[in-house]
Amino acid sequence: SRGAKLKGKRVLVTAGGTMERLDPVRFLTNDSSGKMGFAIAEAAQLMGADVTLIAGRTTAAVPSGVNVIRVESAQEMLEAVTGRFADMDIVIKAAAVADYRAAQISGQKLKKTGEKLVLELERTVDILETLGQRKQHQFLVGFAAETDQVERYAMDKLRRKNCDLIVANDVAKDGAGFNGDTNIVQVYSSEGLVDSMPLLSKREVATRLLELIEARMNAAGGSS
């Protein structure tokens, strides 16, 4: 058995992509299926944790028995996550959150006009960075989806967003990243590389990641 290594721990996981509306019938989103975050939520539950899953747009099946809160936009995900942050022990941000949203959401369907259409986008709030600033006792884990200079960008995100760990996936590699059932990740702490996983199922990545988190929390003198 996996035992109950996370018994009594409150774990918040985000999954899927955000959906940023342009008008009543159109939106911007990304390729996230939710599989990585769902696998983490499911594995955490099997390890005895009390799991809250906050999910954007997903195509994969939601793990059974997990409390799921649905959100659409980055702003809604921000509110759902920050509102629950104080009560959590571990937060894992596997969601693919939009960096930009429409500067204006049109109330009416946008009309076809000239040959070209320019959309004005504005930055969304960075949820992980917000959590990093507010962090107290929580163990905070971010993801980094990169296509090049993976270590450099992942370490940069870890520091900027004040994470305890960052899980980097080179989404340009076959078998890694969006949509599939497998991933290839490297996990970094502020001291550098702590685990380099080979091609594994997202379930296996999830379990190995949670075991790593649990070991580091215990080593840091966390209770029980």
Q: Which residues bind ligand PMT (CB under 6 A)?
A: 32-36, 74, 93-97, 99, 124, 126-128, 142-145, 157, 169, 171, 177-179
Nearer to ligand PMT, 39 or 47 (CB): 39
Q: How far is the CB of 45 from ligand PMT (least distance, A)?
A: 17
Nearer to ligand PMT, 24 or 156 (CB): 156
Stretch (H or E) spanning 216: helix 202-219
HEC secondary structure over 108-130:
CCCCCCCCCCCCCEEECCCHHHH
Three-class SS state of 178 = coil
157 marked as part of a ligand binding site: yes
Q: How does DSSP classify residue 147?
A: S
CA-CA distance, 57 to 139, in Å (whole number)? 25
CA-CA distance, 77 to 54, in Å (whole number)? 7
99 marked as part of a ligand binding site: yes
CA-CA distance, 209 to 195, in Å (whole number)? 9
CA-CA distance, 83 to 224, in Å (whole number)? 26
Stretch (H or E) spanning 91: strand 90-93
Q: How far is the CB of 127 from ligand PMT (least distance, A)?
A: 3
Q: How far is the CB of 178 from ligand PMT (least distance, A)?
A: 4
Nearer to ligand PMT, 45 or 169 (CB): 169
143 marked as part of a ligand binding site: yes
User: Would residue 30 show up in a list of annotated catalytic residues for this protein?
Assistant: yes
Q: How far is the CB of 137 from ligand PMT (least distance, A)?
A: 20
Nearer to ligand PMT, 49 or 150 (CB): 150
Q: Which residues does the annotation place in the binding site for CTP?
A: 99, 109, 143, 157, 161
**Which residues does the annotation mark as catalytic?**
30
Q: Which residues does the annotation place in the binding site?
A: 99, 109, 143, 157, 161
